[in-house]
Chain A
Amino acid sequence: MIYFFQQALNAAQLGSVYALIALGYTMVYGVLSMINFAHGDFFMVGAFLCFVGVVVLQLSFIPVLLLAMAGVTMLGVATERVAYRPLRNAPKASAIITSLGVGIFLEHFTLGLSPYPKYIPPVLPSFSFNAGGVSVSTFQLATISISFILMLALYLVVNKTRVGLAMRAISADRGIVPLMGVPVDKIIALTFALGSGLGGAAGVMYAMAYPVIDPYIGIIIGWKAFISAVIGGIGNIRGAVLGAYILGTVEIMTAAFLPSTYRDLVAFSLLLILLIFRPHGLLGRAESQKV
C-alpha cells in the first residue's frame, strides 16, 4: 500500500509537468484552433534556461524559475508574431506545418549551442522526508505545489479578468471580437505568453526530476502533453489538467506494476480507446467552453 502511495506521488509529479505543458497546447488551440507543435520545444528551451540559470548564472531556485518562464514567454510571443500571425488567414495546415518547422529549428538551434547532453545539478537542497512511510522529496513538493499555484493563477486570469473574458470570447467567435473593441492580436499574443510561460516552468520542473537534458526532450514530452490535452478535450482548460494527471498516473502505475517497457504502449492504447468512445475528449463537447 505504501508502495502504491509512493507511486501516486510520483504520478502527481509527472502529471503536474504534463499539465503545465498541456495548458499551452489547449490555450493556443482555444483561441486559434491551431496546434502549436513547437510547444514541446518551448518546454525544452525552458529546461535549457534552467541549465543556464543554475550552472552559468549560479542562481537560486526562484530566480531560475522566473528566468525560464520569462525567457520562454518571450520566445512564445516572438514565435507567434514572426511565424504564426502572418499565416492567421492561411489554410490551417500551413500554420501547423510552420509550427513543426519552428520546433525543428529550436531543436537544432539548441543543438548548435549545446552539442552534448547537459547535466543540471540540484537547484534545491536535495533531501527527502518521510510522510507516513512515503518518501517525499523537495523536488516533488516544489513541482506539485508550484504547478498548483500556476494553474490556480491561470484559472483566475481566464475566468475572472477581462483579458480572460476576451480569450474566451475569441475562442467562441473570433470573427466578431474586434467589433467589441477587443484588440485581438494583443489577446492572442497574451495567450501565447501565458501558455509559453507555463511551458517554461515545466522545463524547470522536468529538469529537477530528470537532470540530464538534450535538445530532443521536448519531442516525446510534448507529444505526451499534447495527448493529455486531447484526452481532456483540446481547447478545454480543465480537460488539459485532468488529462495530464490521468496520463501521468497511467504511465507511472504501468511502470510500477508491469514491465516498464509497457509504459508507452499502455498510455497510447488508452488514448486510442478513449478517442473511439469520446472523440472530443473527456470534457470536450462538440461545442465545449474553450480556452
Chain B
Amino acid sequence: MTAPGNLKLPPQAGGGAALELKDVTHHFGGLRALSGVNFAVAPGELAGIIGPNGAGKTTVFNLITGVYKPSIGKIIFHGREITGMRSSNITELGIARTFQNIRLFKELTVLDNVRAAHYARMKVNPLEALFHSGRHRSEEKRVTEESRDLLERFGLGGSAGEISKNLPYGSQRRLEILRAAATNPSLILLDEPAAGMHPGEVEQLMSFILELKKQFSLTVLLIEHQMRLVMGMCSHIVVLDFGMVIADGGPQQVRSDAGVMKAYMGSAK
C-alpha cells in the first residue's frame, strides 16, 4: 500500500500524540453536547471511549472526522491541526471510521464497497477516468486486486460479488471495518463495533480488530458499551458523562474510579 502523496503523515510524525483533543466544546443550538474535552491517544495505542447514552461519544467522532466543526477547541492529528477541515481531506490524512448503525453502500457489492474506499489513494483525475486512459486502467486493476486481497485476508473473499446488504449482520460489521481500513488510515475510529453481537461473535470481532491493527499498524479509538470488550482490549480508556471527561487512564484505574461508578450505577458504592 503506497501513501497518497505528501499529505499522508507517517505514524510517528510530530513525535507526540497520534490524536489530541484540546478543550473541545460543541453546541447543538442551545444544547451543550461536549464541554472542554481534553484527551490524547498515543500512536499505536488501542484506546476506548465509554460513557452512558447521550454522553457525547459519537459527537467526538463526528468532530474528529469533520462532520461537525467544534464550537471551541482544537483537534490535532499527529501534530497537525485538523479542526474544521473537510471530511474527505481528513480521510486523506489518514483517519477512517465506522458507524454505530452500519452504513455500507447497501446496494453495491462487497468488492465495490472496498474499492470505493480506495478513492483517497488513487491519483487519477476525473477526466482521465472518463477517457479510460492506460494509467487509469492499470490503477483500476491494482485497486481491484488490493481490494480482493484485503477481503481474502479477512475472511470475506467468498462474498466479494455479493450485494452487501445481503450479508449476515456480523459480516456487514466486518466489511464496514475493512472498508475503513481500505482508505489506508493510521488512525481508525470504531463506533460500537460489537453492537448487537452475541458473546461468541464479540470474541471473534476482538481478534479481528487486533489482527487488523497489527497488519495495518493502526492506532485504534473505539466507542463501546460492551465492558468486556473495552476492558479486555483497551490499554487506555476515556470516560465521558454529560459531555465531560470524568476519567482518563488504564482499565484498572477507570474501573476503580468513584466518578465512573457514580455515572454508571447512580451512586458511589
Residues on A facing B (Cβ under 8 Å): 156-157, 160-163, 165-166, 168-169, 171-173, 175-184, 186-187, 190, 287-290
Q: Mark B101-137, 1 if CB is under 8 A from A, else 0.
A: 0011111100010011111111010100110100010
Q: Which 10 A-B pairs have the closest CB atoms?
A: A181-B120, A178-B87, A172-B105, A181-B91, A178-B88, A163-B129, A169-B116, A182-B119, A180-B117, A161-B129
| Complex alpha-carbon distance, A243 and B86, angstroms | 39
Contact yes or no, A181 B88, CB < 8 A? yes
Q: Which of B88, B97, B143, B165 contacts A162 (CB 8 A)?
A: B143
Count A-B contacts at CB 8 Å: 96
Q: Is B183 close to A, CB under 8 A?
A: yes
Considering the complex, give the chain B residue whose CB is closest to the CB of A171: B107
Q: Which of B99, B106, B126, B165 contacts A186 (CB 8 A)?
A: B126
Q: Would A181 and B183 be within 8 Å (CB), given that A190-B126, A288-B107 are in contact?
A: yes
Contact yes or no, B91 A166, CB < 8 A? no
Q: Would A176 and B121 be within 8 Å (CB), given that A157-B130, A168-B112 are in contact?
A: no
Enumerate 14 A-B pairs (CB-CB under 8 Å) in ascending A order.
A161-B129, A162-B118, A162-B119, A162-B124, A165-B116, A172-B106, A173-B103, A173-B106, A178-B88, A179-B88, A180-B179, A181-B88, A287-B107, A289-B108
Interface residue ranges of B70-91 to A (CB < 8 Å): 86-88, 91
| Complex alpha-carbon distance, A162 and B105, angstroms | 15
Contact yes or no, B86 A169, CB < 8 A? no
Considering the complex, give the chain A residue whose CB is closest to the CB of B136: A161
Contact yes or no, B107 A182, CB < 8 A? no
Considering the complex, give the chain A residue whose CB is closest to the CB of B4: A181
Residues on B facing A (Cβ under 8 Å): 65-66, 86-88, 91-92, 96-97, 99, 103-108, 112, 115-122, 124, 126, 129-130, 132, 136, 139-140, 143, 165, 179-180, 183
Contact yes or no, B183 A178, CB < 8 A? no
Min C-beta distance of A215 to chain B, whole Å? 31
B107 CB contacts on chain A under 8 angstroms: 168, 171-172, 287-290
Add 17 more A-B contacts to A165-B116, A168-B105, A178-B91 (CB < 8 A).
A160-B140, A162-B118, A162-B143, A163-B130, A166-B119, A168-B112, A171-B107, A175-B103, A178-B87, A179-B96, A180-B179, A181-B91, A181-B121, A182-B116, A186-B126, A287-B106, A290-B107
Contact yes or no, B91 A176, CB < 8 A? no
| Complex alpha-carbon distance, A60 and B18, angstroms | 62
Considering the complex, give the chain A residue whose CB is closest to the CB of B120: A181
Considering the complex, give the chain A residue whose CB is closest to the CB of B95: A179
Min C-beta distance of B80 to chain A, whole Å? 17
B180 CB contacts on chain A under 8 angstroms: 179
Min C-beta distance of B107 to chain A, whole Å? 5
Among A171, A178, A183, A186, residue most surrounded by chain B Cβ atoms (within 10 Å): A178
Contact yes or no, A169 B108, CB < 8 A? yes
Min C-beta distance of A121 to chain B, whole Å? 33
A168 CB contacts on chain B under 8 angstroms: 105, 107-108, 112
B140 CB contacts on chain A under 8 angstroms: 160-162
Among B129, B140, B183, residue most surrounded by chain A Cβ atoms (within 10 Å): B129
B108 CB contacts on chain A under 8 angstroms: 165, 168-169, 172, 289
Min C-beta distance of B29 to chain A, whole Å? 16
Contact yes or no, B112 A165, CB < 8 A? yes
| Complex alpha-carbon distance, A166 and B112, angstroms | 10
B103 CB contacts on chain A under 8 angstroms: 173, 175-176
Min C-beta distance of A191 to chain B, whole Å? 11
| Complex alpha-carbon distance, A178 and B105, angstroms | 13
B129 CB contacts on chain A under 8 angstroms: 157, 161-163
Contact yes or no, A161 B130, CB < 8 A? yes
Min C-beta distance of B9 to chain A, whole Å? 15
B126 CB contacts on chain A under 8 angstroms: 163, 186-187, 190
Considering the complex, give the chain B residue whose CB is closest to the CB of A288: B107
| Complex alpha-carbon distance, A198 and B140, angstroms | 26
| Complex alpha-carbon distance, A288 and B163, angstroms | 11
Min C-beta distance of A190 to chain B, whole Å? 6
Contact yes or no, A179 B115, CB < 8 A? no
Among A156, A169, A181, A289, residue most surrounded by chain B Cβ atoms (within 10 Å): A181
A171 CB contacts on chain B under 8 angstroms: 107
Contact yes or no, A161 B132, CB < 8 A? yes
Considering the complex, give the chain B residue whose CB is closest to the CB of A181: B120
A287 CB contacts on chain B under 8 angstroms: 106-107, 165
Q: Would A181 and B132 be within 8 Å (CB), given that A162-B140, A172-B106, A173-B106 are in contact?
A: no
| Complex alpha-carbon distance, A163 and B132, angstroms | 10
| Complex alpha-carbon distance, A57 and B124, angstroms | 36
A165 CB contacts on chain B under 8 angstroms: 108, 112, 115-116
Considering the complex, give the chain A residue whose CB is closest to the CB of B180: A179
| Complex alpha-carbon distance, A171 and B86, angstroms | 20
Min C-beta distance of A125 to chain B, whole Å? 30
Contact yes or no, A183 B105, CB < 8 A? no
Contact yes or no, A176 B119, CB < 8 A? no
